[in-house]
Structure 1
Amino acid sequence: MADDGRMSNTTGDGTRAVRAGLPEPVAHEPTMPGPVFAAHYHLPGEPAGPYTYGRENNPTWTGLEAAIGELEHPGGDTETVVFPSGMGAISAVLLSQARTGDAVVLPDDGYQALPLVRERLETYGVEVRTAPTAGDAQLDVLDGAKLLWIETPSNPGLDVCDIRRLAAAAHDRGALVAVDNTLATPLGQRPLELGADFSVASGTKALTGHGDVLLGYVTCRDPELAAAVRLWRKTAGAILGPMEAWLAHRSLSTLQLRVDRQAATALALAEALRERPDVTGLRHPGLPDDPAHRMAKAQMRGGRFGCVVSFTLPDKDRAERFLAALRLVDDATSFGGVRSTAERRGRWGGDAVPEGFIRFSVGVEDTADLVADVLAALDEAARG
């Protein structure tokens, strides 16, 4: 342990996930305090102290924010701000930084709700430029921008860009850099250590991992940037409930176990799908011949290439039959949970994907069982 009570930056990922954000032991007290439900606090005299009003702070947030900061940038000084959803976190960064007349750069193949943010930014007089994630193409539209938004691996296409290269180029041009780290998780990728100013994620996905909590967060090294994000949270009232914060912190204890199991099974599933003639467009960054593999191997940590595998079946009907034939997989739209999910992504519109495109999120089921279920469902779908 460091002098300030934090774990050293050489502590293992599993140990860190189990211990992150916990208070110093107090005799006869819980090892992890329960959620604090409070709209206001005793506040005699001047409004000083860490807790004054429930929209501004909460002890349960404090523990979770400390834990996430320890995972995102071990051994470093960070500030984390939690939100009630990933979109709350995304909006807080973009809307706290961009002003009328500014330009921001977004990926054109990123999260499905980014176009909603783009529409809002343009309403406020912010210029929005877009470019694909692959090939570091956002470099071509970076000049004069106030902020660069990176999503790597991208959702749902699973392309990867060079965070360090893009961050250096953006900073040379005077732009801030935010990285959506949702799919990688802080165990698979540490954007702040690669030069980003903001690491942002939907904790709804793999971070909490049980499909029962909506959560978002922003982690920064610069206190002024964190203060701007926190002020946006206070002003908008976009606050996380204490129960959700407690559930999220509790879930971090198994993060390393879940992420490692999911990454290993996702790779095994991708390898099995390579043998299927009815599967095209197979993507997983862990596959040696995947277009993103070289960069992912250099940038992502510990062989953790994520839990998502994407592929395309011949048409919409085949995809629907495949999903209906699965026995161990839920047809649901999130990813990163302990129970495997899959969906035909084109049902939502907005993503530039074929009608038969499947986004598959691997859970923690036994690898052999899950792979067998998928292959059997493909066979059943092919029979019509």
Structure 2
Amino acid sequence: MSVPGDGTLASHAGERDAVAGEPARPGPVLSSIFHLGPGASDSYGRADNPTYRDLERAIGELEGGGVYTTAFASGMAAISAVLFGLLTAGDTVVIPSDGYYATRPLALDRLDALGVTVRQAPTPGPYSLDGAALVLLETPSNPGMDVCDLAAVCAEAHAAGALVAVDNTTATPLGQRPLDFGADLVLASDTKALSGHGDLLIGHVSTRDEALAGRIRQWRSWTGAIPGPFEAWLALRSLATLDLRLERQASNALAVASLLAARPEVSAVRYPGLPDDPAHPVASKQMRRFGGVLSAVLPDAAFVERMLAASRLAAAVTSFGDVRTGIDRRAQWGGDVVPEGFVRISCGIEDTADLVADLTVALDAALAG
């Protein structure tokens, strides 16, 4: 069989071989203890679980195959495993200055206290890599939607002797495969687009290096940063529709970005799928699709509140990747250096015409005051 398309891959990812009389879709293994004996593969739930393995096998297939994946209780648990599981006193790490805001205080407060030097760099660069042991990238960046050249940064980092980990939460493996561009590890908050229904917390780390995978898995066991089997099963169940969800979300994001770019009251729009976006040339080389998230700068906080009040389809939420459109005014949280009217918009799977019409009405209402 030729290489399967994304829809086929997603709908069959992690599928077990058929056994007559057994469930076509096995349920979660809800146990923390297992009977011991010759040939037993499981002993205690913190170390492993058959449902974890099903999800990890599925995500590994989406990452391009030949991958060791470790599931975690959340995206932050995955980031913590990479930072604390791989770095030791005396090391230097480079982190995004414009990426997910919680990563910065975690590194600057806790890693610094452990004797790890933390440098920051904006997603497009430049990067100071001399003496670095690890470079953590996030592309597209959250919330600014900037992009870095993965192949170029990975080559530069490896020449300097550094490992590269990429937070791929926004893109997902069907939007971008950092391992194919030289990254040593890829991680994500699968709470977002990968599981995509806004109803669970989960994350993962993947690598093609067996030794790195062993260190990551050991960290999970030592810290107990494991997902619940039911959450792992729900995430696996969600993967079947990933291709369909991403296709509609990307179409909606492009339409919404185009709408906002044409509005005089909107001072900036960032979406790598827009042909005139500064990140578009690089994104076009490495992204398989541009995703459902964009950012924009609206006049002020009051304008955003009026727009949300007038919208029937978009809700004020602080996560992204859901099947329903969400808008988050990032300045209210204090972690990002953005204007008061800066919003991150996560497009759902609503009909594109309905979403554009709804947001047009909401923008008009906000402008009228």
**Aligned-partner Cα distance in 1 for 2:343–2:139:** 19
Pairing 1:257-276 to 2, within 5 Å after superposition? 257-276=244-263
Instruction: Report % sequence identity.
Output: 58
| Unaligned residue ranges in structure 1 (runs of 5+) | 2-7
How many residue pairs match? The answer is: 368
**Aligned-partner Cα distance in 1 for 2:48–2:292:** 33
Shift of 1:273: 1.3
Pairing 1:239-258 to 2, within 5 Å after superposition? 239-258=226-245
Q: Report Cα offsets for 1:120-152 as digits up to 9, x if no partner.
A: 111111000001012x322xx111100000000
**Aligned-partner Cα distance in 2 for 1:363–1:137:** 34
**Aligned-partner Cα distance in 1 for 2:315–2:290:** 22
Residue of structure 1 equivalent to 2:219: 232
TM-score (norm 1): 0.94
**Aligned-partner Cα distance in 2 for 1:184–1:270:** 17
Instruction: Check whether the contact 1:323–1:343 (CA below 8 A) recurs between aligned residues.
Output: no
Q: Secondary structure at the match of 2:240?
A: helix
Instruction: Check whether the contact 1:133–1:160 (CA below 8 A) recurs between aligned residues.
Output: yes
Name segments (4+ residues, structure 1) moved above 2 Å: none
Structure 2: which amino acid aligns with 1:243? F
**Aligned-partner Cα distance in 1 for 2:296–2:281:** 20
Instruction: Check whether the contact 2:261–2:268 (CA below 8 A) recurs between aligned residues.
Output: no
Tell me if 1:106 matches 2:95: yes
Tell me if 1:341 matches 2:326: yes
Moved more, 311-320 or 12-21: 311-320
Structure 2: which amino acid aligns with 1:44? G
Shift of 1:49: 3.8
Residue of structure 2 equivalent to 1:352: 337
The counterpart of 1:131, out of the listed 116, 121, 139, is 121
Residue of structure 2 equivalent to 1:23: 16
Residue of structure 1 equivalent to 2:58: 67
Shift of 1:383: 1.2
Tell me if 1:286 matches 2:273: yes
Structure 2: which amino acid aligns with 1:336? G
Tell me if 1:323 matches 2:308: yes
Q: Secondary structure at the match of 1:352?
A: coil
Tell me if 1:12 matches 2:5: yes
Q: Secondary structure at the match of 1:291?
A: coil
**Aligned-partner Cα distance in 1 for 2:278–2:338:** 17
Pairing 1:22-101 to 2, within 5 Å after superposition? 22-44=15-37, 49-74=40-65, 77-101=66-90
The counterpart of 2:347, out of the listed 338, 355, 362, is 362
**Aligned-partner Cα distance in 1 for 2:110–2:209:** 26
Shift of 1:206: 0.4
**Aligned-partner Cα distance in 2 for 1:273–1:329:** 15
Q: Report Cα offsets for 1:60-107 as digits up to 9, x if no partner.
A: 000000000000123xx2110000100000000110111001000001
**Aligned-partner Cα distance in 2 for 1:203–1:116:** 21
Q: Secondary structure at the match of 1:271?
A: helix
**Aligned-partner Cα distance in 2 for 1:39–1:335:** 31
Instruction: Check whether the contact 1:103–1:145 (CA below 8 A) recurs between aligned residues.
Output: yes
**Aligned-partner Cα distance in 2 for 1:117–1:72:** 27
**Aligned-partner Cα distance in 1 for 2:5–2:303:** 44
**Aligned-partner Cα distance in 1 for 2:134–2:120:** 12
Pairing 1:153-232 to 2, within 5 Å after superposition? 153-232=140-219
Q: Secondary structure at the match of 1:245?
A: helix
**Aligned-partner Cα distance in 1 for 2:104–2:259:** 34
Residue of structure 2 equivalent to 1:5: none
Structure 2: which amino acid aligns with 1:305? F
**Aligned-partner Cα distance in 1 for 2:322–2:134:** 31
Shift of 1:167: 0.6
**Aligned-partner Cα distance in 2 for 1:23–1:238:** 26
Pairing 1:113-124 to 2, within 5 Å after superposition? 113-118=102-107, 119-124=109-114
Q: Secondary structure at the match of 2:294?
A: strand
Shift of 1:115: 1.6
**Aligned-partner Cα distance in 2 for 1:283–1:310:** 5
Q: Secondary structure at the match of 1:137?
A: coil
The counterpart of 1:373, out of the listed 341, 358, 361, is 358
Instruction: Check whether the contact 1:285–1:292 (CA below 8 A) recurs between aligned residues.
Output: yes
**Aligned-partner Cα distance in 2 for 1:207–1:86:** 11
Shift of 1:44: 2.5
**Aligned-partner Cα distance in 1 for 2:263–2:84:** 45
Q: Report Cα offsets for 1:233-277 as digits up to 9, x if no partner.
A: 000011110100000000000000000110011101111112100
Shift of 1:116: 2.5
Instruction: Check whether the contact 2:95–2:104 (CA below 8 A) recurs between aligned residues.
Output: no
**Aligned-partner Cα distance in 2 for 1:67–1:258:** 17
Task: Give the superposed CA RMSD.
Answer: 1.0
